[in-house]
Structure 1
């Protein structure tokens, strides 16, 4: 196993610290070679039983993108209508997706019961295929950050409708819809914290003991 020097460990910590859910993008595309490299790195993620249940789908068609954008707008309006008063005003002020400016849209789907892996590790916890796909997403995200590429996870969408828009195998589960591109800017703290929506909880950094 390789030995990682202390300097690398410090840089790795900085990578974790600067990973952001990006919502403000430049419109210039990321080179294909970089995107292919990020996909290859994502597929190094661990998976239950070596099942590799993830499926990465590039969404390039303008009509499909517009339909996804319309779905987000409807879901976002519904979420806003469920809030009232100052919280509704604060919610309305947030930029919650980079769908308009991000040059690349990537849907990440997961096969709930892939043949690969032959069911190992899934009998009592079948959700591990989904969790494996989340690991691949996080690996993609960290690799993108290291390459100077921003990623934004759009979760205010209707998964079933998005699967229909993308015309994918209905057996697949939509886990994430990602906006990908070069960030318009970066900051040392998350945007939701800067906008006063929420703050990190120090107590989450402590062990819970039983």
Structure 2
């Protein structure tokens, strides 16, 4: 019978360690156009994927898989799928926002040395999974935690990461040969970067601004100011 490992002592990080964590959080950016052509070494890419694999998951189901995409022809098909979806997307916005939308660079599929599709296997763990008995979507939430781990680790390593979300689901499924029980959660572009925006790019370009935190905190119930 396997014995449980004993809990390790908990405690505050050193000042330098804590500052590094917060720096990664606050300076993380969604990168679209700042990628350099330099390849990402295999050992570094594996280190980033290991960080993603250490994300929390409900019931320890670990529903994620990582499809590493470096083949130019596959990237080209993905880029074409993005362009089709993006042409549809621009028409959904009010007329006064379409010009700005069209000027935004919303992907770095061709420029990034590595593309990565993070998927969620909705069958992993079986029909009944601890913690998912009353909320079927906790597997998706867990997969998003893996994406966040990857993003922060990439920032710490000086690797830029951009999340491309403007796709028709059927296109990604067809191009990447995803089985029916696997859903694409995040399509990511990764590569070295020489510089990053000091604020989110969409904020810098006037699309949106970060909301004040105090407006988002309630006490005990919805709408009750803290």
Structural mapping, 1:1-210, within 5 Å: 1-3=9-11, 4-24=13-33, 25-115=35-125, 119-203=129-213, 206-209=216-219, 210=221
Whether the aligned pair in 1 keeps the contact of 2:59 and 2:131 (CA below 8 Å) is yes
| Deviates most, 159-168 or 38-47 | 159-168
SS at match of 2:208: coil
- Return the alpha-carbon distance in structure 1 between the equivalents of residues 70 and 180 of structure 2: 20
Measured after TM superposition, the shift of residue 146 of structure 1 is 0.3
Measured after TM superposition, the shift of residue 117 of structure 1 is 9.6
Whether the aligned pair in 1 keeps the contact of 2:107 and 2:164 (CA below 8 Å) is yes
Normalised by the length of structure 1, the TM-score is 0.94
SS at match of 2:162: strand
Q: Which runs of 5+ in 1 are unaligned?
A: none
- Return the alpha-carbon distance in structure 2 between the equivalents of residues 73 and 16 of structure 1: 30
Aligned length: 210
Whether the aligned pair in 2 keeps the contact of 1:51 and 1:118 (CA below 8 Å) is no
- Return the alpha-carbon distance in structure 2 between the equivalents of residues 174 and 160 of structure 1: 10
Once superposed, which parts of structure 1, at least 4 consecutive aligned residues long, lie more than 6 Å away?
none
Residues 208/56 of structure 1: CA separation in 2 closer, same or farther (3 Å cut): same
